[in-house]
Amino acid sequence: MNIIQCNDSKEVALLSYRIFKEQLIKKPNSTLGLATGSTPILLYNELIKGSQLNEISFKKVNIFNLDEYVGLNSEHKNSYAFFMKEYLLNFIEIEDNHFHIPNGTACDLIEECHRYNNLLSSTKIDLQLLGLGENGHIGFNEPNTSFESTTHLVELTENTRKNNSIYFKSINDIPTHAITMGISNIINATKILLLAIGENKAEAVYNLINGPIDVKFPGSILRNHPDVTIILDKEAATLINKVK
């Protein structure tokens, strides 16, 4: 694993932008795996700037998002489909049918997991972006999810719902379930880039790097992947530096 420490979140965004730019220059029709949440927002700003300056282009790119809440449609302001439009898609040139995300309002959610998983199986993600949950989740693969899991329906833990509550009016509005790419879908990507920002991620980052590779901490599986880069700000790196 390649671990890079930055001074602040701005530097994390600039460095990760460089990795995306390299990927899109090397392969303009790349398949990208993208994440939502607060962590990638500054990177998405850089991707927008880069495409406006014609440094990069999304015209031939396919995007697969990690996850979506059950019960929220793409017009709901808390859905991840809406998030992607608001923070990236509305500002780049990408074919409508090149953006993929699970449909959290499908009548048959199990069938929707199969549909999304079949789509993922028909392609190979060149570069997968990840954030990290305080409990070690990647995507919405909560602790004790099998490393062999494919796209599935998941019940969100109280910890995850609490951490995501800032985006909702009340805790009761937060969906209890989501559809997520499984760990095996994530691990199948050619290259993985995980970003972590802020002191609340320090313990999870420490466990990812130093703890046992165990389903109790889903992110630990990344240590078995041949091409993972982790970019951290100073706060997220606090505990790994203490131990040295």
- Taking residues 187 to 226 in sequence order and writing x for each that binds ligand F6R by CB under 6 A, - otherwise, the string is ----------------------------------------
Shortest CB 57 distance to ligand F6R, Å:
24
Binding residue count for ligand F6R, defined by CB under 6 A: 14
Taking the C-alpha atoms of residue 11 and residue 59, their distance in angstroms, rounded to an integer, is 27
Q: For residues 73 and 79, is the Cβ–Cβ distance under 8 A?
A: yes
Shortest CB 75 distance to ligand F6R, Å:
19
**According to the binding rule CB under 6 A, does residue 102 interact with ligand F6R?**
no
Q: What is the DSSP letter of 74?
A: T
41-80: contacts with ligand F6R (CB under 6 A): 66-67
For residue 92, give the nearest of 34, 132, 38 by alpha carbon. Answer: 34
Nearest CB to ligand F6R, comparing residues 57 and 105: 105
Nearest CB to ligand F6R, comparing residues 58 and 64: 64
Taking the C-alpha atoms of residue 189 and residue 222, their distance in angstroms, rounded to an integer, is 11
For residue 182, give the nearest of 225, 146, 227 by alpha carbon. Answer: 146
Among 6, 9, 17, 37, binds ligand F6R (CB under 6 A): 37
**According to the binding rule CB under 6 A, does residue 81 interact with ligand F6R?**
no
User: Active-site residue numbers?
Assistant: 67, 135, 137, 142
SS3 223: helix
- Provide the token pair at 149: 């899991």
Shortest CB 65 distance to ligand F6R, Å:
7
Q: What is the DSSP letter of 39?
A: T
122-161: contacts with ligand F6R (CB under 6 A): 131-133, 137-140
Q: What is the DSSP letter of 171?
A: G
Residue 172: CB atoms within 10 A of its CB come to: 8
**According to the binding rule CB under 6 A, does residue 36 interact with ligand F6R?**
yes
For residue 128, give the nearest of 65, 75, 180 by alpha carbon. Answer: 65
Q: For residues 141 and 154, is the Cβ–Cβ distance under 8 A?
A: yes
Ranked by CB distance to ligand F6R, the top (closest) residue is 131
Shortest CB 54 distance to ligand F6R, Å:
28
Which residue stretches of the chain are H helix? 9-26, 41-52, 80-87, 109-121, 158-163, 183-187, 202-210, 238-243
**According to the binding rule CB under 6 A, does residue 105 interact with ligand F6R?**
no
HSE toward the beta carbon, residue 178, CA cutoff 13 A:
25
Among 12, 24, 35, 120, binds ligand F6R (CB under 6 A): 35
- Provide the token pair at 37: 């949440």
**According to the binding rule CB under 6 A, does residue 38 interact with ligand F6R?**
yes
Shortest CB 53 distance to ligand F6R, Å:
26
Residues binding ligand F6R (CB under 6 A):
35-39, 66-67, 131-133, 137-140
